[in-house]
């Protein structure tokens, strides 16, 4: 596994499809700190769509495998630390950071889309 975050996951595609259907123009994997999954460079809004497992979401989808427990805990802790660093750096550079969790997009897409719409029109 060369990269932790895989590109073009299903939740990413769901969000992108919705944005495109509403006529929003965005960039994917924009070359700025953390390579946001979706970016609005003019508005300086970065959207990250996080897998609940890889990014250690405090929800029922975050289940540490029974084998190699320490390995996974360490790995996910490192990911979370990196996420924080990335957000901080982006904010420092004037970006707004929006995080979307995989399980939210699967379960409450309407809520996510409403939130996104609000943030994009600010």
The one among 48, 53, 54, 101 contacting Zn ion by CB under 5 A: 101
Site for Zn ion in 38-67 (CB under 5 A): 52, 57, 59, 61
Distance of closest approach, residue 116 Cβ to Zn ion, in angstroms: 17
CA distance 57 to 61: 8
Q: Choose between 33 and 103: whose C-beta lies nearer to Zn ion.
A: 103
Residue 111 beta carbon to Zn ion: minimum distance, rounded to whole angstroms: 14
**What phi and psi, each to the nearest 5 degrees, are found at residue 80?**
-65, -40
Closest CA to 90 of 14, 29, 17, 36: 36
Q: Which is nearer to Zn ion, 16 or 55 (CB)?
A: 55
Q: What are the φ/ψ torsions at residue 98 (nearest 5 degrees)? A: -115, 125
| CB-neighbour burial class of residue 42 (10 A; exposed 0-12, middle 13-18, buried 19+) | exposed
61 or 77, CB closer to Zn ion?
Answer: 61
Residue nearer to Zn ion on the CB measure, 19 or 52: 52
Contacts with Zn ion by CB under 5 A: the residue count is 6
Q: Tell me how far the alpha carbon of residue 43 is from its chain's centroid.
A: 17
Residues 103-122 that bind Zn ion (CB under 5 A): 103
Closest to 97 (Cα-Cα) out of 83, 87, 86 = 87
Binding site for Zn ion (CB under 5 A): 52, 57, 59, 61, 101, 103
């Amino acid at each position: 596994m060369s990269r932790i975050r895989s590109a073009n996951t299903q939740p990413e595609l769901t969000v992108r499809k919705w944005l495109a259907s509403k006529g929003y123009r965005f960039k994917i994997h924009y070359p700025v700190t953390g390579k946001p999954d979706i970016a609005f460079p003019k508005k300086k809004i970065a959207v990250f769509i996080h897998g609940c497992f890889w990014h250690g979401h405090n929800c029922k989808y975050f289940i540490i495998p029974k084998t190699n427990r320490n390995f996974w805990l360490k790995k996910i802790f490192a990911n979370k630390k990196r996420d924080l660093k990335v957000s901080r750096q982006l904010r420092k550079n004037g970006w707004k950071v929006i995080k979307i969790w995989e399980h939210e997009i699967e379960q409450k897409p309407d809520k996510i889309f409403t939130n996104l719409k609000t943030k994009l029109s600010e």
